[in-house]
Amino acid sequence: MKRALSNVLAVAYRESVVLRHDKGFLTTVMAQPVILLLLYSYGISFTPANVQWAVLDRSATVASRRLVADIFTTGYFEPPVTVASYAEGRALLRRGSALALLVVPRDFSRDLSRGHPQVQLLVDGTDPVSAARILAYVSQVASRFDGGRAPPDREADPGRRASGPIDVRQRFWFNPTLADRDFFLAILAGMLLSNICLSGVSLGIVGERESGTFEQTLSLPISPLQIVMGKLLPLVGVGYVLLGFTILGSGVLFGLWPQGSWLGLVLVTLPFMLASLSLGVLVSTLARNSAQAVFISVFFILPSYVLSGVMYPYELMPPAVRLAGGVIPLRWYQIALRRLWSRGAGLPEVLLPCVALLVIFAVLMSLIRWRLKPRLA
């Protein structure tokens, strides 16, 4: 028994020495909790902030402007975008450029003096939690509106919707029942493709490098980028099969089909998969072994779920955190998916995500070429 314990401790000591000199592994292990602590403590909150909204003020009176100012001074909303028509406001909602549209009727000032004012609030219901809270904040302001005196108290409980002088007629767009299932199913394809592209490629190439076959491939009279593209294309086909399975599953089982352009969905998926696969290849060039590849992949996957907006609306994140998430392929793909799946967008409305994904893909391929070039010497 003593001898067996001694043998175990000897092996454990040897492995500890190996780990101590594995700087890449230790850096990854230590950096991940630090980044997640910062994200979950400062970058992520279920309290809406920096809410983009629009106002259709048909009254154009002191009272209506005061109402808009009171909503803005709560601190949860950005300065409103003024629109001239319902169509313009709905277009902002469909593009995701605004999460709410406040419509003030022409007779608002007269109805306020009579004690029966009404306003309409159109809310993007894609994210049920944020939609309900945005409605609660606006309703709180409306319930305490006095026509021109003190602004509302931000510390008051937004969950209570008192029957005040202004009746807020709400309507939720794109997800009228605020179903959580619709929120998650709309971006399920992005999460699955991100996982399979990042982990599959990084582990596959690292395995070849450990066995020595990848170095033999690099010795062939073709460029490293051609080798990488040849390895990525079969996985693109697998990704499209997975996308089709996800569409059929959510449509047949739950009745949730893409509402927008199917051609746009097919087209935007290609640069997303190429960018995600390239990120996996970059991980494989950074990792020395399979264990490092797993840790680095997880290091990218977990923060990407947070920063991309698949679990939490990126529009409500602090500006610096929102900007950092712009380099993640999943950010742009989930924007396209929500527009196509939930908002009924057409092909022109996903061109910007397509261009952003192509730029990320080009940058990643440049980094891959730089990392693989010394191996050809």
Amino acid letter at 365? M
Q: Which residues contact 55 (CB under 8 A, 6 or more apart)?
A: 68, 80, 81, 82, 83, 101, 102, 104
Q: What is the DSSP letter of 312?
A: S
Which residues pair with residue 54 across a beta bridge? 81, 101
Per-position pLDDT tens, the chain of length 377? 777 777 777 777 776 776 677 666 666 666 666 766 766 666 666 667 788 999 999 999 999 999 999 999 988 899 999 999 999 998 899 888 899 999 999 999 888 888 888 999 999 988 888 888 899 999 999 988 876 544 444 444 444 443 347 889 989 988 888 888 888 888 899 999 988 888 777 776 777 777 777 666 667 677 777 777 887 888 899 999 999 999 999 999 988 899 889 999 999 999 999 999 999 888 888 777 777 777 778 777 877 888 888 877 777 777 777 888 889 999 999 999 988 988 888 888 899 999 999 999 999 999 888 877 544 43
CATH level 2 (architecture), domain 53-178: 3-Layer(aba) Sandwich (3.40)
Residue 266 has a pLDDT of: 94
Strand partners, 51: 77
Look at residue 200 in the predicted model and tell me its pLDDT.
Answer: 74
Give the chain's largest Cα–Cα span: 92
Count of helices and strands (H, E) across the chain: 15, 5
pLDDT for the residue numbered 39: 66
pLDDT at residue 376, as a whole number: 40
Whole-prediction pTM: 0.77
pLDDT at position 285: 80
Which two structure tokens, joined as six digits, stand for 129?
């939690």
- Looking at the chain, the domain(s) classified CATH 3.40.1710.10 span 53-178
Contacts of 193 (CB under 8 A, 6+ apart): 239, 242, 243, 269, 272, 273, 276, 333
- From first CA to last CA, the distance across the chain in angstroms is 52
CB 197 within 8 A of CB 273: yes
Of 216, 187, 224, 151, residue with least CA distance to 372: 224
Alpha carbon separation from 311 to 97, 128, 188 (Å, rounded)? 18, 12, 10
Consecutive H or E run containing 132: helix 128-143
Confidence at residue 270, expressed as pLDDT on a 0 to 100 scale: 95
The pLDDT score that the predictor gives to residue 35 is 67
